[in-house]
Amino acid sequence: MYVAVKGGERAIENAHAWLAEERRGDRDVAELSIAQIREQLSLAVNRVMAEGSLYDPDLAALAIKQARGDLIEAIFLIRAYRTTLPRFGASEPVDTGAMACDRRISATFKDLPGGQVLGPTFDYTHRLLDFKLAAEGETPAAPSRVAEPGDVPHVTEFLNREGLIEEAVHDDTPPPDLTREPLEMPADRALRLQALTRSDEGFALGLAYSTQRGYARNHAFVGELRIGTVPVEMEIPELGFAIDIGEVTLTECETVNQFKGSKTEPPQFTRGYGLVFGQTERKAISMALVDRALRWEELGEDFVGAPAQDAEFVLYHADNIQATGFLEHIKLPHYVDFQSELELVRKLRREAGADQVQEAAE
């Protein structure tokens, strides 16, 4: 006997209760605090801030806890919260030349003013599981020295002085806002960079990697990668000048890419750019490579059909919140559509005589 399914509401409530229980896990194990996540899973926190487009380590840590460590789910929580926040204004552009760098490396010069600073990097760790961490051993403090005062010049500025790299033209046009205006093609570079900085890290990484393997190769050198804090200033109309409202950690990557030139123009290196919230260097480097690939048109290069060159393809598929929502929606009931397909296929098969063939076989 068929009884129509009822009680969706109760099923949902029960699922939520079960989810909360699973989130907590074994109650004999101490509960995670937001501070622990913020301090000890800081790279996850950084990714959630970057792709959630909201710089707030505590909220990102809360989102990670609530999402049971599913970072895309955590990013979603942050995005949904972010859209409800009122907008008081826009900050002044940050000056990454004035960054207090924790890390600053250049692959294009052996040494340079400001020095090479490795910082807290995994780069030269041997990837051996450290069982001491399992024993909950405390880590000894790292040696430190006082930072040298003053700005750290950008590597590309040295190249620019010789005219060896394309000029990054200063532009005071307010950038478009992806979160307040529908995406429109063609997208200018400011809009593309905005989309890339909050794009899914894995998607950006895959695209960047594809350029390295020949799908629109652009011979990228990491001119410079720097991670550190910059002050954020905001102009207050009532005061008539900008004041410091806090600081953010950023990762900036400038790539020096294959040169271009023509009969009339001498050869010059070109640029790719990545700037991401937090310590997120895999993302920043990926962003710079994809940015450079997307610039084929303005640099007079050929479109070779590579995915990383295709702005529509990249921008419409880079956002993991859009992607995961649509991907996962196929879990929702589709039986009405499916029923219409069933009828059509049955009808076509009937007309093709498939039913008779099957009967004969039986």
Partner 1 sequence: MTDYNFAYLDEQTKRMIRRAILKGLAIPGYQVPFASREMPMPYGWGTGGVQVSAAVLTPEDTFKVIDQGADDTTNAVSIRSFFERTAQVATTTATAEATVIQTRHRIPEAALTEGQILVYQVPIPEPLRFLEPRESETRKMHELEEYGLMHVKLYEDIARHGHIATSYAYPVKVEARYVMDPSPIPKFDNPKLGHMAAIQLFGAGREQRIYALPPYTQVVSLDFEDHPFEASKADHPCGMCGANDSYLDEVIIDDAGGRMFVCSDTDHCEARQAQGHRGKDAA
Our CB check for partner 1 shows the closer of 4 and 135 to be 4
Report the alpha-carbon distance of residue 26 to residue 4 in Å, rounded: 37
Our CB check for partner 1 shows the closer of 23 and 350 to be 350
When asked if residue 348 is in the footprint of partner 1 (CB under 8 A), the reply is: yes
When asked if residue 362 is in the footprint of partner 1 (CB under 8 A), the reply is: no
Report angle CA 274, 65, 47 to the nearest 5 degrees: 5
- Residue from 109, 215, 221, 316 that binds partner 1 (CB under 8 A)? 316
When asked if residue 343 is in the footprint of partner 1 (CB under 8 A), the reply is: yes
Four-CA torsion 96, 286, 38, 78, nearest 10 degrees: 100
When asked if residue 181 is in the footprint of partner 1 (CB under 8 A), the reply is: yes
First to last CA, the chain: 29
Contacts (CB under 8 A) with partner 1, residues 53-92: 76, 79-80, 82-84, 86
When asked if residue 183 is in the footprint of partner 1 (CB under 8 A), the reply is: yes
C-beta separation of 246 from 232 below 8 A:
yes
When asked if residue 12 is in the footprint of partner 1 (CB under 8 A), the reply is: yes
E strand spans, 4-99: none
When asked if residue 2 is in the footprint of partner 1 (CB under 8 A), the reply is: yes
When asked if residue 333 is in the footprint of partner 1 (CB under 8 A), the reply is: yes
- Residue from 14, 33, 40, 322 that binds partner 1 (CB under 8 A)? 322
Our CB check for partner 1 shows the closer of 241 and 326 to be 326
At 275, list the tokens.
């700037």
C-beta separation of 316 from 83 below 8 A:
no
Our CB check for partner 1 shows the closer of 77 and 220 to be 77
Query: Beta-carbon neighbour count of residue 287 at 10 Å?
Result: 32
Half-sphere exposure of residue 227: CA atoms within 13 angstroms, side-chain side: 20
Cis ω for the linkage preceding 186 (within 30 of 0)? yes
Least distance CB 336 / partner 1 (angstroms)? 5
Determine the length of the chain.
Answer: 362
Contacts (CB under 8 A) with partner 1, residues 185-214: 185-186
Report angle CA 19, 24, 28 to the nearest 5 degrees: 140
Our CB check for partner 1 shows the closer of 81 and 215 to be 81
Binding footprint of partner 1 on the chain (CB under 8 A) = 1-2, 4-9, 11-12, 76, 79-80, 82-84, 86, 179-186, 312, 316, 321-322, 324-329, 332-337, 339-344, 347-348, 351
